[in-house]
Structure 1
Amino acid sequence: MIPGKKLSTNEMTRLQLLAELSQSNVEPARIASIIQTDPSLSYRLFRYINSAGTGLVQKVSTPKRAIDMLGLVRTKQWLRSVLLADLNPTPKAGELAYMAVHRAKFLESVCQHSVRETSEPDTLFMVGLFSLLDSMLGLPMDTIVSMLPLEEPVVQGLRGEGEIADLLRLAMSYERGEWGGIGSRLKRFGLESLQAELMYVQARSWTQKMLGYNAAEPVAA
């Protein structure tokens, strides 16, 4: 951490947009306007939705049409992921952004398949997505959450409190290969080991596609 560090204009803008997209009542028109005013975002959205595997017969050429085709939830996930990846252009931050998006998707999947109603899947997605912002921005997590209008379950998870934080620790155990604590956590949430491993692998593939990686490109573990 860097005492007294100030965010750049780009970092602040991206962080504000991430905060706006974290709200449950964000309108599709607002999402379309964010994309339309950034040529890079527009290009990457079109490349993503028109890529092989999206199942579309016709090309998509407007953000509004892309949102209609992808759906609001999927579009928000894509936009939040690429905004996070754009926060800091350094290679190290890029690796952290990849890891955060991977965490987000894995935690969302765990939430969807767990026997315990810990929280909403989108809440777990946001916790995973924001969980490395302190390392990416060089600021304490308490400072970051104070800057963002996040719902209380997300804040608690990012501060290491409650069951959401325990799920976050599950994802971190997979990343670090700390197999000793994984079994008990999986059992607590009613998940089988092979089931969780499959979700972890599927989350990695989803992340690569979401961030525009080619299969042959090296990415963070």
Structure 2
Amino acid sequence: MGFTYFQGYFFARPEIVSGKDIPGYKLNYLQILREVHKIDADFGELEDIIKRDVSITYKLLRLINSAAFSFSTKIQSIKQAISLLGLNEFRKWVSLIALSSMGDDKPGDLVLTSMSRARFCELIAPRIGMKDKSSDLFLTGMFSMIDAFIDQPMEEILNDLPLSEGIKTALLGGDNVYRTALESAISYEKGDWETLGDLRGRLGLGEDEFPPIFHSSIEWASRIFIE
């Protein structure tokens, strides 16, 4: 798409109407998200799920073999990708690709903003003592606008996705550390420095920590977007 950089709140959230029909291809990606995030899913089951969808298989292998990963050997199968990435990382990247694919009929800024928020929340994780939850924080940012991708209420979507309670609470506006991280990303997008200062204090971060995280997130999202 020739897009390399973005900043700001680029779109107005549409009015979400319950009961609106979801296109078949989006239902297919939602089903993939449901199965990939099942708690008891194992490597073999995940491989079978992804291999059934030629588009996601192609996009995932193309991304993993890009400069974003720089593996020394070419990754030629989903099984090899799962083995190298590990379960949580594999789920993270499949979620990114599935959500991006659901946004084919949406402005590119919607995808980019979701990716930037995901990376922002992920980069915050080790700074607030939550390195072991970095994948959950990533998904919190990634799914923060899934209602706009599907044109369905957030609560209805989350009822069908087996995400952790921490992620669901944050996405529904509850008060937890995932939500605080997400609100920090949103406040930076808006340039709401007063709110951002309060959120930074709640996370225990220094005044100079947010700018490099935010700009790194933008650069990362832009790079992945054009891979």
Task: Answer yes or no: is the 8 Å Cα contact 2:50–2:56 preserved in 1.
Answer: yes
Aligned-pair identity in percent equals 28
Equivalent position to 2:210, from 184, 196, 202: 196
- Amino acid in the other structure paired with 1:161: G
Q: How does 1:164-183 map to 2 (within 5 A)?
A: 164-183=178-197
Which ranges in structure 2 are unaligned for 5 or more consecutive residues? 1-15
Task: Answer yes or no: is the 8 Å Cα contact 2:184–2:199 preserved in 1.
Answer: yes
**Alpha carbons of 1:201 and 1:21: their partners in 2 closer, same or farther (altered >3 Å)?**
farther
Kindly state the Cα deviation for residue 186 of structure 1 after the two structures are TM-superposed: 0.9
**TM-score of the superposed pair, with normalisation by structure 1:** 0.83
SS in 2 for 1:58: coil
Equivalent position to 1:186, from 191, 196, 200: 200
For residues 61-82 of structure 1, give each alpha carbon's deviation from its aligned partner in whole angstroms, at most 9, with x where no partner exists.
1111122223332222111101
Instruction: Specify the alignment match of 1:63 in structure 2.
Output: 78
Taking CA–CA contacts closer than 8 Å with sequence separation of 6 or more, which of the two structures ends up with the larger relative contact order?
2
- Amino acid in the other structure paired with 2:162: P
Instruction: Specify the alignment match of 1:12 in structure 2.
Output: 27
Task: Answer yes or no: is the 8 Å Cα contact 1:126–1:154 preserved in 2.
Answer: yes
C-alpha distance in structure 1 between counterparts of 2:205 and 2:182, whole Å: 15
Instruction: Specify the alignment match of 2:117 in structure 1.
Output: 103
Task: Answer yes or no: is the 8 Å Cα contact 2:100–2:111 preserved in 1.
Answer: yes
Task: Answer yes or no: is the 8 Å Cα contact 1:106–1:171 preserved in 2.
Answer: yes
Structure 1: 4+ residue segments shifted above 6 A: none
Task: Answer yes or no: is the 8 Å Cα contact 2:89–2:135 preserved in 1.
Answer: no
Q: How does 1:76-87 map to 2 (within 5 A)?
A: 76-87=91-102
Q: State the superposition RMSD in angstroms.
A: 2.3
C-alpha distance in structure 2 between counterparts of 1:113 and 1:119, whole Å: 11
Task: Answer yes or no: is the 8 Å Cα contact 2:118–2:140 preserved in 1.
Answer: yes
C-alpha distance in structure 1 between counterparts of 2:19 and 2:64, whole Å: 41
Which ranges in structure 1 are unaligned for 5 or more consecutive residues? 215-221
Q: How does 1:108-127 map to 2 (within 5 A)?
A: 108-115=122-129, 120-127=133-140
Q: How does 1:17-96 map to 2 (within 5 A)?
A: 17-52=32-67, 54-92=69-107, 94-96=108-110
Equivalent position to 2:170, from 157, 161, 164: 157
**TM-score of the superposed pair, with normalisation by structure 2:** 0.81
Task: Answer yes or no: is the 8 Å Cα contact 1:22–1:126 preserved in 2.
Answer: no
**Alpha carbons of 1:30 and 1:171: their partners in 2 closer, same or farther (altered >3 Å)?**
same
C-alpha distance in structure 2 between counterparts of 1:152 and 1:91, whole Å: 28
The answer to whether structure 1 residue 208 and structure 2 residue 222 are counterparts is yes
C-alpha distance in structure 2 between counterparts of 1:68 and 1:80, whole Å: 17
